[in-house]
Amino acid sequence: MFTRRRFLEGSLGAVAVLGGCTAEGQSAGTPLPIPELVDARKQNGAISLVAAEGEHAFVPGRPTGTYGFSAPYLGPVVRVHKGDEVEFTVENRLDRGTTAHWHGVLVPAALDGGPHVLIPPGGIWRPVLKIDQPETTAWYHSHPHGDTGRQVYRGLAGLMIVEDGVGERLGLPRTYGIDDLPIILQDRQLDEKGALVYNNGGPSRMMGMRGNTLVVNGAISPFAKVPRGLVRLRLLNAANARNFDLRFADGRTFHVIASDGGYLPAPVGMTSLIIAPSERFEVLVDFSDGKVAVLETAPDDNMVRGMGGGMMAGMMESVGGELLRFEPHSASAAAAKTIPTALVALATSDPERAVRRRRVSLDMGPAMMRGQGAGGGMRMGGGMGPPMGINGQVYDMGRIDFAPRLGDTEIWEVTPNMMAHPFHVHGVIFNVLSIGGKAPASHLAGGKDTILLSEPAELLMTFTQPATSDFPFMLHCHILEHEDGGMMGQYTTA
Ligand code: C2O
Ligand code: CU
Ligand code: CU
């Protein structure tokens, strides 16, 4: 494979240099920032998030303007518990509208924080979320129509953990910040002064905003001191557009235990893992050998195919290299030592129960032109450049694209065009029946809310959450510039 070969030949880019790596075993550079953990049960069930401007130094000593939720950049890790009601207070201190979308949390669409739930500057939004789903790692981020890419890029995102006690019973590592680490993966374009650059025109419009610098929890090539034993990483790809192709420099095996919708039936041993924008995977890594371990990514090769795509791809940054270095302590011993052989039985719907098949085409370029021809009249999405859409139509906040019935099970046949797209649906956890006509790899066989598609797929989903035409659910590509450009639709569950 082209990417892997180029990667292994050693083009690590500028990132490792900035991070100040030194000899093995020595702590140099930046410690991994660990976002504050806010547990709803310790807050009497009330959690406050304030969206505001901040300053954050990606490059030490070079602060740049950012956004954050109750933090200069990103937000706290919010922990909620199944069966509880949690009252959120989201305050907007920005100079433009924002939202707080609970990505991967199953709540009615009116509480979901999509584009229809815009909080104006100075406004406060108070949704009460009834938490009713299995243990998982979800996240939250802003989602205002046409401005999601820029706002998330500036920092409006955070991790969210849903607990139901299963991980504890399974004996999984769960000491936050010690052997249970939030790992928020992003890339950012930084100029010579270390300032954030955002661009949603030209190649960034076509392929999504990418950057020259890899960051983890907002830091460049940080290190984490970990116990000698099993450590759980809650991986989130919070980049606007790029995929991360993860592996350890020493090629060690790690075990995927959970994806977007919660635990897999059994840990899946892997030596490399592709994580697309908005996907989450929880992995267990064994550090009991005491050796320093470097988590790396290959460059991202997901670029537009054909139509001058090669030339465009040449204009895009596609950085590979070091993400994060783990330094096992000799002194401390991790609580968990052995990887469980079984986790949780999969709760899947029966494909036989599907009452309908729907076609969803993720369109850009020529496919959009065909759709526009049929629909009459060219409509542009937000930003500059050719339109993007779903089934040939640019997103329209006033148009309902699909209306499945509450309680129904459906199969969605989703077809990507021009490049691979991370397809996301609000309000459901789905199962992947097939990708390119084949059963999905075992780490993708659990509950999902986002799936990276370079080939057509069949997704099985049951609608359990209410959505109305005033407050519909979104379905979209999670390359945020595609979403802002119009590759989004909406559905109700009447
Ligand atoms: Cu991460 Cu429409 O969401
Ligand atoms: Cu979402
Ligand atoms: Cu896309």
Mean pLDDT by 10 residues, the chain (494 residues): 35 36 59 98 98 98 98 98 98 98 98 98 98 98 98 98 97 96 98 96 90 98 96 98 98 98 98 98 96 97 74 74 94 75 88 96 82 43 68 96 98 97 98 98 98 98 98 98 97 94
**pLDDT for position 203:** 87
Q: CA separation (Å) from 439 to 206, 243, 305, 336, 459?
A: 30, 21, 25, 32, 11
CB of 141 shorter than 6 A to ligand 1:
yes
Cβ(57)–Cβ(92) below 8 Å: no
Three-state secondary-structure class, residue 454? coil
Count how many Cα atoms sit within 13 Å of the Cα of residue 89 in the half-sphere of its side chain: 9
426 Cα: distance to centroid of ligand 2 (angstroms)? 5
Tokens 């433009």 label which residue? 96
Nearest CA to ligand 1 atom 3: 103
Cα 293 to Cα 406: distance, rounded to the nearest angstrom: 47
CB of 101 shorter than 6 A to ligand 1:
yes
Atom of ligand 1 nearest to the CA of 141: 1
| Strands of 128-201, DSSP E | 128-130, 136-141, 157-163, 180-190, 196-197
**pLDDT for position 468:** 98
CB of 476 shorter than 6 A to ligand 1:
yes
Cβ(89)–Cβ(43) below 8 Å: no
**pLDDT for position 307:** 57
138 Cα: distance to centroid of ligand 2 (angstroms)? 9
What are 428's strand-pairing partners? none
CB of 247 shorter than 6 A to ligand 1:
no
Cβ(174)–Cβ(167) below 8 Å: yes
Nearest CA to ligand 1 atom 1: 103
203 Cα: distance to centroid of ligand 3 (angstroms)? 13
74 Cα: distance to centroid of ligand 1 (angstroms)? 16
CB of 278 shorter than 6 A to ligand 1:
yes
Structure tokens, 437 = 């006509």
Cα 392 to Cα 372: distance, rounded to the nearest angstrom: 6
Structure tokens, 143 = 């989602």
Cα 137 to Cα 237: distance, rounded to the nearest angstrom: 12
**pLDDT for position 375:** 40
Tokens 């000593």 label which residue? 61
Phi-psi region of 492 (alpha: psi -120 to 50; beta: other; left: phi over 0): beta
**pLDDT for position 306:** 65
**pLDDT for position 201:** 85
Cα 390 to Cα 111: distance, rounded to the nearest angstrom: 24
CB of 426 shorter than 6 A to ligand 1:
yes
**pLDDT for position 333:** 62
Cβ(311)–Cβ(16) below 8 Å: no
Nearest to 198 by CA among 64, 94, 68, 324: 64
Which ligand lies nearest to the CA atom of residue 474 in the structure?
A: 1
CB of 421 shorter than 6 A to ligand 1:
no
**pLDDT for position 303:** 86
**pLDDT for position 98:** 98
Query: Rg (Cα) of the chain, in Å, rounded?
Result: 21
Pairing state between β 77-81 and 124-125: unpaired
Any idea how long the chain is?
494
Which ligand lies nearest to the CA atom of residue 205 in the structure?
A: 3
CB of 482 shorter than 6 A to ligand 1:
no
pTM of the entire predicted model: 0.92
Q: CA separation (Å) from 333 to 224, 286, 324?
A: 15, 12, 21
**pLDDT for position 381:** 46
Cα 94 to Cα 9: distance, rounded to the nearest angstrom: 45
40 Cα: distance to centroid of ligand 1 (angstroms)? 22
**pLDDT for position 376:** 36
Q: What are the residues whose beta carbon lies below 5 Å from ligand 3 (ion)?
A: 421, 477, 479, 482
**pLDDT for position 9:** 35
Phi-psi region of 436 (alpha: psi -120 to 50; beta: other; left: phi over 0): left
Phi-psi region of 29 (alpha: psi -120 to 50; beta: other; left: phi over 0): left
Atom of ligand 1 nearest to the CA of 450: 1
CB of 116 shorter than 6 A to ligand 1:
no
Phi-psi region of 378 (alpha: psi -120 to 50; beta: other; left: phi over 0): beta
